[in-house]
């Protein structure tokens, strides 16, 4: 295995922002995307870090996503904020609504944000972890593009539809999980294909609906399976309802980028629910969570969701973010290239 090169958060963010600007993003959007991607890379989220540069550029270069979009925030009810992403990336839309959304959650104890007409191509935890650091519980639901067959079905319908959940823990890192509702993320299957690795049995099917361990067969006409059979299939369905249905965006099976060959980002919807756990709580929420976590450890689960990412983050802050040398060179070339 090639020894990685190490780059600082500052250097990687600057490189990525330069690349996104050169491919049509405004300064503001480029900075947000770059920070999001550097954070993901630093946390060791390999399927949603710099691996996503090419897909983002494919969507920008073909005009499928608008890198200069200005989101429209709508204050629709005391506990409800909507955002029309204006065919831009989801992260700037979320940022545009953040202050109003948090204020509503603090006033009401709960609030919901529904973003539509927006492209989410990243990990969810960078969106929700900051809410938990501000003392709020965050639940995020996203739908993507059809590449998952529903349980017992025979064609692609759901996206890999991720679910993210973040819980504040005073004095320490929030408890966060962030997972696709499919067996594997599409990104991980692409990485397996690139590295020539076979998939475990039960991850996906080929174009005839037959089980396969061939990543290429899954990606070219085949499909991923929901995790846990009918249970994951129900979660994937819920993501379609809560993100696209509630938000007013496209379902994963409605994403049509046929006139934008090379586009890769799903134009769908994202929903976040924020809860202020201190509001009217009959027992001390923070103490209860620590009791739960102690019991989980006592039951033998040492590693909590998020532990791997936080450990990677500590290493990356100390030593730099590890990058494959060829990837680092490619990023530098892209940043230096003529616009
Ligand atoms: P993983 O299966 O790798 O991990 C899911 C969660 O489980 C993480 O919180 C992880 O923590 C935790 N976890 C993993 N292994 C263990 C273990 N042994 N014990 C306890 N907890 C564990 O994630 P996925 O492949 O499902 O998703 C990867 C990323 O892809 C996510 O960030 C997701 O948001 C993103 N994604 C985005 C999509 C989009 O539409 N934007 C679509 C699909 C996926 P840890 O992080 O610490 O490893
Ligand atoms: O890895 O499955 C995935 C994915 C879809 C959209 C963004 N990531």
Residue 18: inside a domain: yes
- Please count the structural domains in the chain: 1
Q: For the chain, what percent of residues have pLDDT higher than 70?
A: 100
- Within 6 A (CB) of ligand 1 lie 45, 47-48, 120-125, 142, 144, 160, 162, 177-180, 184-185, 188, 303, 305-309
**What is residue 339's predicted lDDT score, i.e. its pLDDT?**
76
Q: Residues 20-50: pLDDT tens digits?
A: 999 999 999 999 999 999 999 999 999 999 9
- Give the integer Cα–Cα distance in Å for 166 and 137: 6
When pLDDT is cut at 50, 70 and 90, the band that residue 282 belongs to is confident
Compute φ and ψ for 50, nearest 5 degrees.
-65, -15
Q: Residues 147-183: pLDDT tens digits?
A: 999 999 999 999 999 999 999 998 999 999 999 999 9
Dihedral sign, Cα of residue 44, residue 144, residue 63, residue 113? negative
- Give the integer Cα–Cα distance in Å for 7 and 4: 10
Residue 31: inside a domain: yes
**What is residue 338's predicted lDDT score, i.e. its pLDDT?**
81
Instruction: For residue 186, give the nearest of 147, 232, 216, 234 by alpha carbon.
Output: 147
Asked whether 272 and 170 are in contact (CB, 8 A), the reply is no
Helix (H) / strand (E) containing 88: strand 80-89
Residue 98: inside a domain: yes
In this structure, what DSSP letter does residue 220 have?
T
Ligand 2, atom 6: nearest CA belongs to which residue? 121
In this structure, what DSSP letter does residue 8 have?
-
Among 185, 243, 244, say which to mutate for ligand 2: greatest number of ligand atoms within 8 Å of CB.
Answer: 185
Q: For the chain, what percent of residues have pLDDT higher than 90?
A: 97
Ligand 1, atom 47: nearest CA belongs to which residue? 306
Q: Residues 79-125: pLDDT tens digits?
A: 999 999 999 999 999 999 999 999 999 999 999 999 999 999 999 99
When pLDDT is cut at 50, 70 and 90, the band that residue 1 belongs to is low
Partnered with residue 273 across adjacent β-strands are 112, 139
- Give the integer Cα–Cα distance in Å for 33 and 123: 12
Distance of CA 195 to the CA centre of its chain: 23
* Helix axes 53-61 and 9-22, enclosed angle (nearest 10): 20
Residue 88: inside a domain: yes
- HSE-CB for 54 with a 13 A CA cutoff: 7
> How many A from CA of 203 to the centre of ligand 2?
15
Q: Is the pLDDT of residue 69 over 70?
A: yes
Q: Give yes or no for residue 122 CB within 6 A of ligand 2.
A: no
Which residues form the domain of 75? 5-182+226-336
More confident residue, 280 or 241: 241
CATH of the domain at 319: 3.30.1370.60
């Amino acid at each position: 295995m090639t020894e990685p090169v190490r780059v600082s958060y500052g250097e990687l963010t600057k490189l990525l922002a330069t690349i996104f600007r050169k491919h049509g993003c405004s300064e503001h959007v480029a900075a947000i995307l770059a920070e999001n991607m550097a954070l993901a890379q630093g946390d060791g989220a390999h399927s949603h870090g710099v691996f996503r540069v090419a897909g983002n550029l494919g969507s920008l270069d073909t005009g499928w996503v608008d890198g200069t979009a200005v989101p429209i925030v709508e204050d629709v009810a005391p506990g409800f904020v909507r955002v029309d992403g204006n065919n831009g990336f989801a992260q700037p839309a979320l940022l545009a609504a953040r202050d109003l959304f948090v204020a509503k959650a603090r006033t009401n104890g709960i609030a919901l944000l529904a973003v539509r007409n927006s492209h989410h191509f990243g990990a969810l935890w960078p969106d929700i972890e900051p809410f938990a650091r501000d003392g709020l519980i965050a639940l995020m639901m996203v739908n993507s593009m059809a590449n998952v067959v529903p349980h017992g079905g025979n064609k692609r319908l759901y996206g890999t539809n991720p679910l993210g959940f973040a819980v504040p823990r005073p004095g320490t890192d929030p408890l966060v999980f962030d997972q696709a509702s499919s067996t594997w993320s599409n990104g991980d299957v692409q990485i397996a294909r690139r590295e020539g690795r076979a998939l475990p049995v039960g991850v996906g099917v080929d174009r005839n609906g037959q089980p396969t361990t061939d990543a290429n067969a899954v990606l070219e006409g085949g499909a991923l399976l929901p995790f846990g059979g009918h249970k994951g299939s129900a979660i994937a369905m819920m993501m379609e309802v809560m993100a696209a249905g509630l938000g007013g965006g496209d379902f994963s099976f409605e994403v049509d980028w046929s006139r934008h060959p090379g586009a890769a980002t799903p134009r769908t919807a994202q929903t976040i629910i924020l809860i202020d756990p201190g509001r009217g709580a009959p027992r001390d929420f923070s103490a209860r969570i620590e009791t739960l976590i102690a019991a989980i450890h006592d039951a033998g689960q040492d590693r909590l969701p998020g532990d791997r990412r936080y450990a990677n983050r500590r290493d990356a802050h100390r030593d730099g973010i590890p990058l494959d040398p060829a990837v680092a060179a490619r990023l530098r070339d892209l940043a230096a290239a003529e616009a």
